[in-house]
């Protein structure tokens, strides 16, 4: 896989795309996904892990609501990873992750994930380069374990937001009463570390790519949602699943 350089990748939809037509396609795909997810659950031969990473304001929560929120909640689980608790810190960094790996028949979403432990930790110098490389190897082994031994299909998305759009969205959290609950003054401090974050993300993409990353332009939510819906639809459609017959 060629090296990923985020500066060379657009954060916006290609010019000329018709927003309303794309949204209509997304709606149709989501209707089909509802059936495919039911089939995944019924057959129970495959598991799906969706890893969502991105800077503050990139639309991770909105994605979970607008795409995965359309599916049957009986077959979808969401886990958000925040600052580790004292109990979690007393274990290896993957301990809290493995507990929530998807069972067969399920779609598990990680809203932030094990990758926080080689990105945020490196930006803030809580983890040195040697430790990060060791963790990258552990992550690759962990994902290979899930893929090879539990029939887990892994989709890894980075929501690629521009720093200009991030500032707009962070300001909305101050001004919009419906978004004020998301406001965290630390987000503005983290935004100042943008270049360091991009460097660490690129290093992550280029060393943890046995399960490949999809870089999703995220400045426009309608396009972001379409790309991720399409990727999930393509994955499930390609599994050639069948409903089980009558139990004997």
What residue ranges in the chain does DSSP mark as E strands?
47-54, 76-80, 107-111, 152-160, 213-217
Q: Which domain holds residue 194?
A: 44-237
What is the per-residue pLDDT across 95-139, written as a single tens digit (0 to 9) for each?
Answer: 999 999 999 999 999 999 999 999 999 999 999 999 999 999 999
Supply the pTM of this predicted model.
Answer: 0.95
- Determine, yes or no, domain membership for 6: no
Is 75 part of a structural domain of the chain? yes
Is residue 209 situated within a structural domain?
yes
Inform me whether the pLDDT recorded for 16 exceeds 70: yes
The total number of structural domains in the chain stands at 1
The CATH number of the domain where 183 resides is what? Answer: 3.40.50.300
pLDDT per residue as tens digits for the range 72-101: 999 999 999 988 999 999 999 999 999 999
pLDDT > 70 in the chain, percent: 99
Q: Within a domain: residue 126?
A: yes
Confirm whether 81 is domain-assigned: yes
pLDDT above 90 (res 178): no
Q: Strand 107-111 vs strand 152-160: parallel, antiparallel, or unpaired? A: unpaired
Q: Is residue 139 domain-resident? A: yes
Yes or no: say if 6 and 198 are a contact pair by the CB < 8 Å rule.
yes
Asked, for residue 31, whether it belongs to a domain, the answer is no
Q: Is residue 94 part of a domain?
A: yes
């Amino acid at each position: 896989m060629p090296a990923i350089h985020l500066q060379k990748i657009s954060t916006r939809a290609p010019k000329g795309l018709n927003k309303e037509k794309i949204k209509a396609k997304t709606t149709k795909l989501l209707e089909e996904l509802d059936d495919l997810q039911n089939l995944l659950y019924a057959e129970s031969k495959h598991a799906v892990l969706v890893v969502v990473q991105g800077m503050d304001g990139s639309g991770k929560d909105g994605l979970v609501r607008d795409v995965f929120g359309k599916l049957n909640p009986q077959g979808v689980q969401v886990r958000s990873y925040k600052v580790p608790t004292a109990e979690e810190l007393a274990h290896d960094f993957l301990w809290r992750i493995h507990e929530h790996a998807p069972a067969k028949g399920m779609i598990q979403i990680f809203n932030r994930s094990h990758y926080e432990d080689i990105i945020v930790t490196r930006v803030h110098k809580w983890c040195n380069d040697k430790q990060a490389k060791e963790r990258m190897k552990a992550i690759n082994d962990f994902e290979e374990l899930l893929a090879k031994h539990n029939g887990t299909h892994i989709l890894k998305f980075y929501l690629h937001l521009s720093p200009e759009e991030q500032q707009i969205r962070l300001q909305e959290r101050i001004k919009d009463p419906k978004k004020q609950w998301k406001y965290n003054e630390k987000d503005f401090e983290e935004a100042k570390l943008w270049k360091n974050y991009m460097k660490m993300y690129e290093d992550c993409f280029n060393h943890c790519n046995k399960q490949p990353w999809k870089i999703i332009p995220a400045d426009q939510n309608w396009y972001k949602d379409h790309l991720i819906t399409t990727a999930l639809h393509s994955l499930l459609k390609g599994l050639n699943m069948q409903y089980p017959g009558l139990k004997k």
